[in-house]
Structure 1
């Protein structure tokens, strides 16, 4: 994941934790540092067992921050794969744009990504499945997934949205 994607995942996770588990906010920064330093194996294990990572974050009985971070990183990977496909199609569109420009035919530029209902439904389905695999209860999985989708659906124009703070 790129630095920008990681920062975005952290911003969205912070918004989700502020909404669902504000008591975890004082430990959020240190949890993120430990999460980023951990291997994917450690992250997955900690998220599945709903426990601290065991390498610096202690004393947390039931922590949502780690599963939320894990889910968002997986969602960012899924989105990166999607945009790699979009980029491949964009190259073709860009060449067509320049050909049209040479021929003086106008072409509108694509708008900033704003997820469709179908994309949000896909993200929700994948996140919910992964949350259940991680061992979250059905209620926790629904709560976390709904909060993540709500934050992504808020879009870049919504005040307080993590998306508004990140440049495309």
Structure 2
């Protein structure tokens, strides 16, 4: 929940929206990954973790996908912002208790972002996409789609948004 009482967007929901627009052929992958907690998804998409957890296809296929670019960047941004907002000691203790009691972590949320943060997210997506072998043009398309989704999700939750019609207008 954001400081103004609005719910934050879940990383997994934002990823699905962007992938649906930019690479709908990847939706089965996204939907399959949504069955796991965010930490497991990040481990699988980044190639970190155990070799016993394959995605089911080779690393060459992962390199050209939109899903890992968007999910990994969003998760990193959300984690960095959460760490800045919460004392690291409390965060570590919470994680330890979850492991002890085998409770899954809550889905990672992306809070409202400033313009400067949106610019940073765009740059991170472009760099990540290019590192995975996507062209500069495709990287920019993905980055623009994600930033638009982030801006719209933030804007749609705003009470003073003129783009959302007031239900009382037009009634007599």
Shorter-chain TM-score: which interval?
Answer: 0.5 to 0.7
Q: Give the match for residue 57 of structure 1.
A: 56
Q: Give the match for residue 132 of structure 1.
A: 130
Q: CA deviation at 1:18?
A: 0.8
Question: Contact 2:73–2:121 at 8 Å: present in 1 too?
Answer: no
Q: 1:68 aligns with which of 67, 70, 85?
A: 70
Unaligned runs of 5+ in 2: 1-6, 88-110, 158-172
Question: Contact 2:70–2:125 at 8 Å: present in 1 too?
Answer: no
Q: Higher helix fraction: Structure 1 or Structure 2? A: 1
The 2-side partners of 1:81 and 1:130 are apart by 22
Q: Give the match for residue 106 of structure 1.
A: none
Q: Give the match for residue 13 of structure 2.
A: 11
Q: CA deviation at 1:56?
A: 4.0
The 1-side partners of 2:70 and 2:17 are apart by 10
Q: 2:29 aligns with which of 17, 27, 30?
A: 27
Question: Contact 2:16–2:27 at 8 Å: present in 1 too?
Answer: yes
TM-score (norm 2): 0.53
Question: Contact 1:127–1:145 at 8 Å: present in 2 too?
Answer: yes
Q: CA deviation at 1:14?
A: 0.3
Unaligned runs of 5+ in 1: 47-53, 86-112, 160-168
CA 1:23–1:72 in 2, change beyond 3 Å: closer, same or farther? same
Q: Give the match for residue 150 of structure 2.
A: 152
Aligned with 1:13: secondary structure?
Answer: helix
